[in-house]
Each structure stands twice: as C-alpha cells, then as structure tokens.
Chains A and B, each alone.
Chain A
Amino acid sequence: MSTKHDFDFWFGMWVTENKRLKKRLQGCTEWETFQAVCTAVPILGGMGNIDDFIAQDWKPDYIGMTLRLFNPSTKQWSLYWASNQTSVGTLEPPVIGAFKDGVGIFECDDIQEGQAVRVRFTWSEITANSAKWEQAFSTDNGATWEINWVMQHTRKETL
C-alpha cells in the first residue's frame, strides 16, 4: 500500500542513464542514449516532492521537472510532468497510481500526436542507491504496451 514515504528514497542527486525510443508507436526499434542529472527534494512537509531533470548532452537548454503529490484519502500519488520546451506554462495531466510490492505503477489517458494513448510510468528495482523508471504507451487500452523511455538512476556521489 502506498504511503507518503514512498518516494523518500528519491531525495538527493542522481545520475541517470537514459534509453529513449526515437519514434513512438511506429514499430521503431532504434534507441537514443544519453545521461541526465536529477535532483529531488521534499515539499509540503512531506506530502509531496519535486525534482528536476537536466540532460545537457541530449538537449542543452532542456529542463524537465516532475511534481508528485500524495493524496492521503485515496492513498494514491499524482505525478505531473512539466518542461521548459514542451507544453510550456502548464503541468501535463497527471499519471495516477500507487506502489505495490515495491513497484509503483501510475497511469493516465493522454493524446500523443493526435492519437489517444494510455500512458504508464513504472518505478521499480528501488534500492538506497539505484532505481529504474520506465514510460510505456498503449493504444489498445492496456492490452499491449510499448516501452519508449527507460531511466536507470544511480545515486550521484560527490566526494
């Protein structure tokens, strides 16, 4: 069951190896890979958190962020993505979900390039110093999924 502490592991700085499908929902099998740095901090006295995503090698001026809010009555998280290059000025519709047995699954309906899709974020393989995030789209209401972005996070060291 989810609690407001689900993302406590995420506080701090991370080095992120990205594997991103070049084209989505077109049977593409070509991936681009790049590194990013993420920094996460708690907000609202622990009822949420916020992080940024900076990938200099991928898009030098790109900054992404995620806002995560825990709803104690539904025991669900809402994850809102925003960036300075796509949908500027708005938070994108949240993916909503919870953790079960160490795996967090968060979903929403969205329109991608004119096509209705189900969007799924999966957080898994969480340890003190590593975690995996995946994004997948489905065009058949969740029967089949195409993973289009994988992030392997490793806690950043400083010394």
Chain B
Amino acid sequence: MNLESSIIELRQYKLHQGQRDVLIELFEREFIIGQEKAGMHIIGQFQDLDKPNDFTWIRAFPNMVARQESLEYFYNGAVWQAHREAANATMIDSDNVLLLKPVQGFSGQEKLADNEKMLVFIIPVTPLRASELIESCQKILEPQVQILAMYITETSANTFPQLPIRDDFVFVALHE
C-alpha cells in the first residue's frame, strides 16, 4: 500500500448492522479493480476496531482534473451500474468524506502492510493555523509513533457534486 498521491479522499461510512462483511466482499471483488481501471488508486480499506458497522477507505488521484475524469468514468461505467444497488443497500451514511492533500515537505513512511492497524487522527483547524498545528503534531507524534501520512483539507471546488464532500477544514495524520 502506497500512501503517496496528490489528492486524497478519506471516506468514513456508517453501515447497516451486519453489512460490513457484505460490502467488503463486494468492494474487494469488484470496486478495487473497477476504480483502478478508471485511473484511481485505492490506498486501503479499513474496519473500525471499536465500531463494527464503520467502514473507512482511502482513495487517491493524481490531481483534481484526473479526479473528475476518473469519477465520471467509473460512476457511468458497467461495474458501478451493475453493483451500485447492492452497495447502497449496505449503507446508512456515506457523506462523511474528507477531500485532502498531503502536507508539503513531509516525507513519511508511506507504506502499510496488509492487516496492519492504523490510527487516524483528525483535528479541525483554521487554514491560517494549519502549519503551526502540523509542526506541533509532528513534534509530538514523531518520537512516539510511525507517522504514515499527514494531510490537510484540499479546498478546490468539488467538480463531481454527485459525491458530496465535507466543507470543514481539518488536519489528518495516519500513524501506526
């Protein structure tokens, strides 16, 4: 798994009771290859250890133009049209989505092995204070844990409005 890309979506879903394994099976069978073929990169999919109905996944794009093209290609394409109803039926809420970009100048250990545990750390921040916060977090976290990636909100307009994204500004750190 490689966490290095220019535009990142961190997607946190609430699913119906008992449906996480159903979605993961469908996801791993159809949606990873379907999205990769559309030019997206699936960084990873995660099961929340504390919340049995929470499913989180991360995908990446080279840039915002490529994002729009890939999403239009995928969502109009045969894979999604064939399986969208089955996927939708597992979900309560799919709107908790952060559009992010990597923190400049941070060279993390951008690899994660399969079945690895990961912590996601999301802090709201004002855009002007972001660099201060990033510096503090890096100072506090780095001696203690392996930081895998650090992101901040990408503020470009959402050019694929069929998929809503959150409008708050956050800093995100992924660490082991």
Contacts and interface: CB of A to CB of B under 8 A. Distances in A.
Interface of A: 12-13, 15, 17, 35, 37, 129, 154-159
A155 B163 CA distance: 9
A35 B160 CA distance: 13
B31 interface: yes
A12 B89 CA distance: 11
B87 A159 contact: yes
B94 interface: yes
B88 A158 contact: yes
B172 to A, nearest CB: 20
A16 to B, nearest CB: 10
Nearest to A158: B94
B31 A159 contact: yes
A156 B88 CA distance: 10
Contacts of A157: 71, 75, 80, 84, 162-163
Interface of B: 31, 71, 75-76, 80, 84, 87-88, 91, 94, 161-164
Given A158-B87, A158-B88, A159-B31, A35 B162 contact: no
Contacts of A154: 161-162
Contacts of A37: 164
Given A159-B31, A159-B80, A17 B87 contact: no
Contacts of A159: 31, 80, 84, 87, 94
B56 to A, nearest CB: 13
Given A12-B88, A156-B162, A159-B80, 9 more contacts: A13-B88, A15-B164, A154-B161, A155-B162, A157-B71, A157-B162, A158-B87, A158-B91, A159-B94
21 contacts: A13-B88, A15-B161, A15-B164, A17-B161, A35-B161, A37-B164, A154-B162, A155-B162, A156-B162, A156-B164, A157-B71, A157-B75, A157-B80, A157-B162, A158-B84, A158-B87, A158-B88, A158-B91, A159-B31, A159-B84, A159-B87
B34 to A, nearest CB: 10
A15 B163 CA distance: 8
Contacts of B76: 129
B86 to A, nearest CB: 11
A15 B162 contact: yes
B50 to A, nearest CB: 23
Interface centre among B31, B71, B163 (most CB of A within 10 A): B163
A15 B164 CA distance: 8
Contacts of B162: 15, 154-157
A17 B31 CA distance: 28
